A = this chain, B = another copy of it.
Amino acid sequence: MATSNSFSYDDLYSRNSIAIPRAENRHAKYDFAVAYPDPETLPLDGLAESLKTALEREGKGLALYPVSAGLPSLREWVAERLTRERNMQVSPEDIVLTSGSGEAISMLIAALTDPGDVLLTEEYVYLGTLRAMRRFGADVRSVKCDNDGIIPEELETTLSGLAAEGRKVKFLYTIPVFQNPLGWTMSLERRIKTLEITQKYGVPVLEDDCYVDLRFEGEDVTSFHSLDDTGRVLYVGSFSKIVAPGVRLGYMVAPPEVIQRAMSFKGGGGVNQFAALAVQEYAAGHMDRHIEEQNQALRVKRDAMLSALGENFGDAAQWSKPEGGLYVWLEMPEGTDLAGLQEPVFNQGVGYYNGTMFSPEGRGANCARLCFGHPTAETVSEGIAELARILEGHGVLRA
């Protein structure tokens, strides 16, 4: 029998629990690390007004516990928008609102992944997804990409190799628009090829479309979801980029049976009704115009970043020229240790995330993701010049 002196929580923790140190959310003076939207374009007045209106109309519903799939009127809005903008055949019943798209992605990973299962991603992949995949013990494998997206031959080789080994591949995760962190948009041809190959191997696709509304030039490519009529494309989207991360609203679109499984991993009841009411009311009246204004501001910042990279890095590096989204992918010559320099450069005032953070295999030490969403255009220009000066000081860029 244990006595009170021998008590320790270490004897009580579950096998699946790991200690997560308290996150600090540090920001450098020039913060190109985290993918924030522009605080100046946040629709704060609109949200406050919308909440007031929505509470007057249906606030008494706050006394009830939200339905587990989330506010019906916001699911309706999402369904209509996806039908109109992404050619998707969806109804509100196909949608579950989640606490950011991160929760939707985690729920789908949890529903489909046992430890050791293979999950496929693009060559570099959104950090949050990579962490969640690892948390569920997945064997994450990346597929080589070029500027049009996943290279079909590479996908075929990967899948046939895994099939030959008898490995179970649970799904392919893709961010086909303004890929995080690479910045490209996958072409229609590549999407069709990717679907053909994955379907041949019985592998569903999880399409993360969270940046699709942040296009400030060029034309949209139709969604993976719209190209499939067999229920084998799962889809997630987010309000973090078009309203604000702090509203913690995202969603999944999936066949009913997959939703039922994913719901066994939904925490904390239905999504925040308070935020959902404000966003639904705001979206119904203002979203198209808000997105247009926000994208005009983002374009100016992207232009500032591309100019500053040209002026300060010249031909000493390569970088992506995204038609939208929040970041540029910087690639310096092989051997440049942007991974090792990340912390010292942060301490000197410039934040970025190096490529190894996004790579399932830990590659890309010579690469970095540079976000232009949060700082002003002026700060972007100053910060890139400062980054160049700091890298010169470290001897990895010639003055």
On A, residues with C-beta under 8 Å from B are 1-4, 6-7, 9, 11-23, 25, 34, 36-40, 42, 44-45, 47-48, 51-52, 55-56, 59-69, 93, 98-100, 102-103, 106-107, 110-114, 117, 135-136, 160, 163, 170-171, 199-202, 204, 230, 232, 240, 244-248, 255-275, 277-278, 374
Q: How far is the CB of A104 from chain B (nearest CB, A)?
A: 9
Task: State which of B14, B22, B200 has its C-beta within 8 Å of the C-beta of A114.
Answer: B14
Q: How far is the CB of A118 from chain B (nearest CB, A)?
A: 12
Instruction: Report yes or no: B61 in contact with A246, Cβ–Cβ below 8 A.
Output: yes
Instruction: Report yes or no: B25 in contact with A244, Cβ–Cβ below 8 A.
Output: no
Instruction: Report yes or no: A267 in contact with B111, Cβ–Cβ below 8 A.
Output: no
* Nearest B-chain residue to A109, judged by Cβ: B14
How far, in whole Å, are A22 and B170 apart by their CA atoms in the complex?
A: 24
How far, in whole Å, are A19 and B266 apart by their CA atoms in the complex?
A: 12
Given A247-B272, A374-B63, decide whether A260 and B52 contact each other with a Cβ distance below 8 A: no
Instruction: Report yes or no: B246 in contact with A273, Cβ–Cβ below 8 A.
Output: yes
Task: State which of B63, B65, B271 has its C-beta within 8 Å of the C-beta of A25.
Answer: B65
A40 partner residues in chain B, CB cutoff 8 A: 60
Task: State which of B9, B25, B34, B59 has its C-beta within 8 Å of the C-beta of A255.
Answer: B9
Task: State which of B230, B248, B256 has its C-beta within 8 Å of the C-beta of A4.
Answer: B230
How far, in whole Å, are A349 and B152 apart by their CA atoms in the complex?
A: 60
Instruction: Report yes or no: A42 in contact with B18, Cβ–Cβ below 8 A.
Output: no
A11 partner residues in chain B, CB cutoff 8 A: 202
Instruction: Report yes or no: A264 in contact with B12, Cβ–Cβ below 8 A.
Output: no
* Nearest B-chain residue to A107, judged by Cβ: B267
* Nearest B-chain residue to A18, judged by Cβ: B264
Given A21-B260, A268-B248, decide whether A56 and B44 contact each other with a Cβ distance below 8 A: yes
A263 partner residues in chain B, CB cutoff 8 A: 20, 22
A255 partner residues in chain B, CB cutoff 8 A: 9
Instruction: Report yes or no: A248 in contact with B261, Cβ–Cβ below 8 A.
Output: no
Q: How far is the CB of A175 from chain B (nearest CB, A)?
A: 17
Instruction: Report yes or no: B102 in contact with A268, Cβ–Cβ below 8 A.
Output: yes
A111 partner residues in chain B, CB cutoff 8 A: 13-14, 17
Given A202-B7, A267-B267, decide whether A63 and B246 contact each other with a Cβ distance below 8 A: yes
Task: State which of B4, B62, B110 has its C-beta within 8 Å of the C-beta of A200.
Answer: B4
How far, in whole Å, are A61 and B247 apart by their CA atoms in the complex?
A: 11
Task: State which of B17, B69, B103, B113 has its C-beta within 8 Å of the C-beta of A264.
Answer: B17
* Nearest B-chain residue to A23, judged by Cβ: B68
A110 partner residues in chain B, CB cutoff 8 A: 14, 16-17
Instruction: Report yes or no: A6 in contact with B202, Cβ–Cβ below 8 A.
Output: yes
Instruction: Report yes or no: B99 in contact with A268, Cβ–Cβ below 8 A.
Output: yes
How far, in whole Å, are A9 and B262 apart by their CA atoms in the complex?
A: 12
**Would you list the 5 A-B pairs with minimal beta carbon distance, nearest first?**
A99-B268, A2-B202, A246-B273, A62-B246, A103-B268
Q: How far is the CB of A43 from chain B (nearest CB, A)?
A: 10
* Nearest B-chain residue to A374, judged by Cβ: B63
Instruction: Report yes or no: A246 in contact with B66, Cβ–Cβ below 8 A.
Output: yes
* Nearest B-chain residue to A67, judged by Cβ: B25
* Nearest B-chain residue to A56, judged by Cβ: B44
* Nearest B-chain residue to A267, judged by Cβ: B267
Given A42-B59, A202-B2, decide whether A278 and B268 contact each other with a Cβ distance below 8 A: no
Looking at A6, A110, A244, A274, which has the most chain B CB atoms within 10 Å of its CB?
A274
Instruction: Report yes or no: A272 in contact with B269, Cβ–Cβ below 8 A.
Output: no
Q: List 15 A-B contacts (CB under 8 A).
A: A1-B163, A13-B111, A14-B114, A18-B264, A19-B257, A36-B63, A36-B64, A36-B65, A38-B63, A44-B56, A63-B245, A248-B273, A265-B267, A274-B278, A275-B275
Q: How far is the CB of A15 from chain B (nearest CB, A)?
A: 6
How far, in whole Å, are A103 and B267 apart by their CA atoms in the complex?
A: 6
How far, in whole Å, are A399 and B11 apart by their CA atoms in the complex?
A: 57
